[in-house]
Amino acid sequence: MAAVRHEVVVAWQPHCAHATPRYHEAMTKLVRNLPHPADFQAPPSVADRARWAAADVAARPARLARVRARLAAEGVDAYFGIRPEHMRYLTGFALDDAEDKVSGNSGRFFVSADQVVVLADTRYRLQAAAQAPQARIQATTNDMVAGWQEWLKMLGARRVAVESDLVSHRLWGQLQAAAPEVELVEAAGWIEADRAIKEPSEIERIKSAGAVADRALAALLRRIKPGMTERELALALEWEMRTGGADALAFGIACLAGSNAALPHGSPSDREVRIGQVLLFDFGANVDGYRSDMTRTLFVGEPRARDLEIYEIVAAAQTASIALLEAALKSGGVAPSGRAVDAAARQVMEAAGHGEHFGHGTGHGIGLATHELPSLSRVASEEPLPSPTVFSVEPGIYLDGETGVRIEDLVLLDLTRTDLPRLTGFPREVLVVGV
């Protein structure tokens, strides 16, 4: 990573420091030292992408072996998969988010003890054959039921695990009726739990996607001016990501000004940015199938004391969660649970009187999907977090009709290390724009 250019950190007293000459002097320095795109990792190269593709090919047999071991343990003959990220992980056949919505049954797949079968209609046959050369490409139509019995006979399957959380009650009944001699077994979370543990090349791609996002926001900062709309800024940020190494967006960009920032998952509108408002960006890039996710709350002009105070509380909550994770690493013990990491942030919020203003979870896993295991929330598992894994830490405070602040970073939890790397490189300090 290039030398970091943003060296000034603003220190403030929540209720009064915004009025002091020292504050104004620090703020002026901070504005001059906004992050620059060159501060962050360069876009992925052709060689990087070739290396990642080779790593996936090398890892796929082990991934399939883990699925087959689960099949054997459950006494199941085949696994029927629906999620596009599972398909890519296990077979190599990849459909982007938009294409998946119109692909019909293409991309559904089976894994048995000795076969991998990918369903593809005429639109995707050549692509599937090229991306999944070790799989059998089976012709399909939009009528799943029509081929069901034939496919199961081909696999010799009498018990089939089905991703039950994605199959409607109606389709489940139709599949049972189409092959009444075959038992359908609910399979939820089998592949998700495996994918939560990240391989080195997966971590590299998440980090690369994060750097694309870092550079994009840094490129936009100096162009943010009062009077611009949320939509204009979201479009400008998307342009920076797409021209800066992203294959696609990880998800729709949230650019929210003033009271709109109180919408945790709001969408950009024609609202204009004004001096004295917060400006919240929640966005991520997709690089070689892997996603990033970052939230930064900026200040347009001189921050209000209330908004600075909220920012300080949110930053402290994030620090509390990260400190809990770091303590586990340094002690050489087991990782905390996702529920415990969430509780650490929530305790800070509650102590500051904002417990009711933090409604969502503290974090989520990320990889081929933007939201995946592990979960960091009040209802998360009490089992230790897996390792190595990547997840967000993103506490927030939202005051309805007034303002909202969230800070989100991706971190790598690896119990073989004694540190907790942040895969989000963009600074967390107070940043003022639009002046």
Q: Which of helix, strand or coil describes residue 239? A: helix
Domain ranges of the chain: 17-46+198-433, 75-196
Region 329-350: mean pLDDT is: 95
Share the mean pLDDT of the chain.
92
Q: Per-residue confidence at 6, pLDDT binned at 50, 70, 90?
A: very low
Beta bridge partners of 140: none
pLDDT at 351: 97
pLDDT above 90 covers what percent of the chain?
87
Which ranges of 183-255 would DSSP assign to H, the alpha helix? 190-196, 200-221, 230-242
Q: Which of helix, strand or coil describes residue 322? A: helix
pLDDT at 17: 36
Region 277-298: mean pLDDT is: 98
Query: Which of 2-11, 21-30, 103-112, 379-388 bottoms out in mean pLDDT, i.e. has the lowest?
Result: 2-11
Q: Per-residue confidence at 435, pLDDT binned at 50, 70, 90?
A: confident
Q: Is the pLDDT of residue 283 over 50?
A: yes
Q: Are strands 159-163 and 183-187 parallel, antiparallel or unpaired?
A: parallel
- Identify the CATH class of 17-46+198-433: alpha beta
pLDDT at 95: 93
Q: Which amino acid is at 14?
A: P
3 or 354: which carries more pLDDT confidence?
A: 354
Interval 227-236: pLDDT, tens: 999 999 999 9
Interval 168-223: pLDDT, tens: 999 999 999 999 999 999 998 899 999 999 999 999 999 999 999 999 999 999 99
pLDDT at 15: 35
Region 365-387: mean pLDDT is: 97
pLDDT at 188: 86
Cα 178 to Cα 152: distance, rounded to the nearest angstrom = 11
Q: Are strands 78-81 and 159-163 parallel, antiparallel or unpaired?
A: parallel
pLDDT at 144: 87
For 366, the token pair is 């990320």
Could you tell me the CATH superfamily of domain 75-196? Creatinase/prolidase N-terminal domain (3.40.350.10)
pLDDT at 185: 96
For 373, the token pair is 């295991």
Q: Per-residue confidence at 32, pLDDT binned at 50, 70, 90?
A: low
Q: Per-residue confidence at 18, pLDDT binned at 50, 70, 90?
A: very low
Cα 330 to Cα 387: distance, rounded to the nearest angstrom = 15
For residue 239, the tally of other CB atoms under 10 A from its CB is 13
Cα 42 to Cα 15: distance, rounded to the nearest angstrom = 40
Query: Which of 3-12, 212-221, 349-358 bottoms out in mean pLDDT, i.e. has the lowest?
Result: 3-12
Interval 72-112: pLDDT, tens: 999 999 999 999 999 999 999 999 888 888 999 999 999 99
pLDDT at 279: 98
For 29, the token pair is 């320095």
